[in-house]
Amino acid sequence: MATEYFLRMGDGAKIFMSKEDIMADIEAGCADAADLGDIPSLSEDEMEKMLDIITSPGRIVGVEPGMEVPVTHDIGAIRIDGDQGNSGVGIPASRLVGSMIHERAFGADTMELGHIDYSYKPVKPVISQEQQTMEVCQQNMVIPMLYGAMPNMGLYYTPDGPFENPGDLMKAFKISEAQESIKSAGDHGIRDMVWIMQRLQHVGCDGVNFDTIGAAGDGDMYASLNSIEALRKEFPNMYINAGMAGELVLGMHGELEYDGTVLAGLWPHQQVGLAAKAGANIFGPVCNTNTSKTSAWNLGRSVTFMKSAVEASPIPCHVDMGMGVGGIPMLETPPIDAVTRASKAMVEIAGVDGI
């Protein structure tokens, strides 16, 4: 009987597979990404290295000394005081305390402040509170401190927002009306995101993290890229991180463009150039985890997409590796064996500039 090694399913469940079966899944995952993105698959040596990482006998693995990269943080201190919906652990603490815990106790390389709803739109009514908290954080902290939130264009559609829901319009075959609604929501989102960040920059914020760009499709990316462009023009030294929601930009509108490029259907290696053109300092490429596949398949697929984005990028790439992305299992407490293996593979094979 062949020796079996433990690994994980995309939902986190522990499974056992032979080395040959793990390699077959790595190859299949790489091939899927290569086929979808029309990008090169990993080389045989790279797949062998991934196999070695996955079958490493230790519970935890790490990069070779000297290959460490900065780890940036999304969601802010909500991780400490937030509820389960934000993957928070419910420890009563101010956002300053939560941020300082990340800096002094966790060894975070950067941190961010985030509103409990973690979308830009609901920040508007409480902007003074956010300014005050950012000011106090900047007075006390040493590591780079951004403001982070999701563009979340979904909040701009009925029943939550002023623009008619494009999903409802499409169901009624009102396609051009749906497109108009998406564009209008995007333009409104640009105004909101720029306005919010103008005020936070005024109180000493280091910069901004656009978290989960494209979650509501190409309108979301249209709004984000144009916000980045406007902010870069106004604040030449602002730190700007552009983090994506998925590997593919969904074409909810289908015809929106940035810099002459249609946004719908872009893969990570095609997204990064636009983020850099708009003025982002760092790009956060994403590959979502398939819960029905093994971690070997997901990691092979994810590293293939990320390596291609890193090679195409003119700016640093900090790959998104939270729950359910970047080869990490899709659950709120991803097992550290899977997290550390994905982390090492992403740095040593994909060559990412950060996580």
- By the rule CB under 8 A, 69 interacts with other proteins: yes
CB contact at 8 A, 54 and 341: yes
223-259 as b/e, with b when 16 or more CB fall inside 10 Å? bbbbbbbbbbeebeebbbbbbbbbbbbbbbbbebebe
Q: Is 207 helix (H, G, I), strand (E, B) or coil?
A: strand
DSSP bridge pairs for 7? 15
Sign of the dihedral defined by the CA atoms of residues 300, 305, 310, 312, in that order: positive
Peptide bond into 159 cis (omega under 30): yes
For residue 17, the minimal CB distance to other proteins (Å) is 22
φ and ψ at 243, to 5 degrees? -105, 135
Angle 235-239-245 (CA atoms, 0-180°, nearest 5)?
115
Among 25, 27, 32, 206, binds other proteins (CB under 8 A): 206
Amino acid letter for position 346: M
Q: Which of residues 327-346 bind other proteins (CB under 8 A)?
A: 328, 333-334, 336, 339-340, 343-344, 346
Among 201, 270, 290, 308, binds other proteins (CB under 8 A): 201
Among 205, 228, 272, 275, binds other proteins (CB under 8 A): 205
CB contact at 8 A, 203 and 138: yes
Q: Which of residues 124-153 bind other proteins (CB under 8 A)?
A: 138-144
What are the structure tokens assigned to 253, written together? Answer: 């509108």
- Binding-residue total with other proteins (CB under 8 A): 63
* Per-position x/- string for 215-254, each x denoting binding to other proteins as judged by CB under 8 A, each - no binding: ----------------------xxx-x-------------
For residue 201, the minimal CB distance to other proteins (Å) is 7
Separation of alpha carbons 229 and 252, rounded Å: 22
- By the rule CB under 8 A, 347 interacts with other proteins: yes
Among 34, 322, 327, 350, binds other proteins (CB under 8 A): 322
- By the rule CB under 8 A, 303 interacts with other proteins: no
Among 108, 190, 299, 349, binds other proteins (CB under 8 A): 108
Instruction: Name the site residues for other proteins (rule: CB under 8 A).
Output: 60-63, 65-73, 79, 102-104, 106-110, 138-144, 201-207, 237-239, 241, 276, 281-282, 314-316, 321-323, 328, 333-334, 336, 339-340, 343-344, 346-347, 352-355
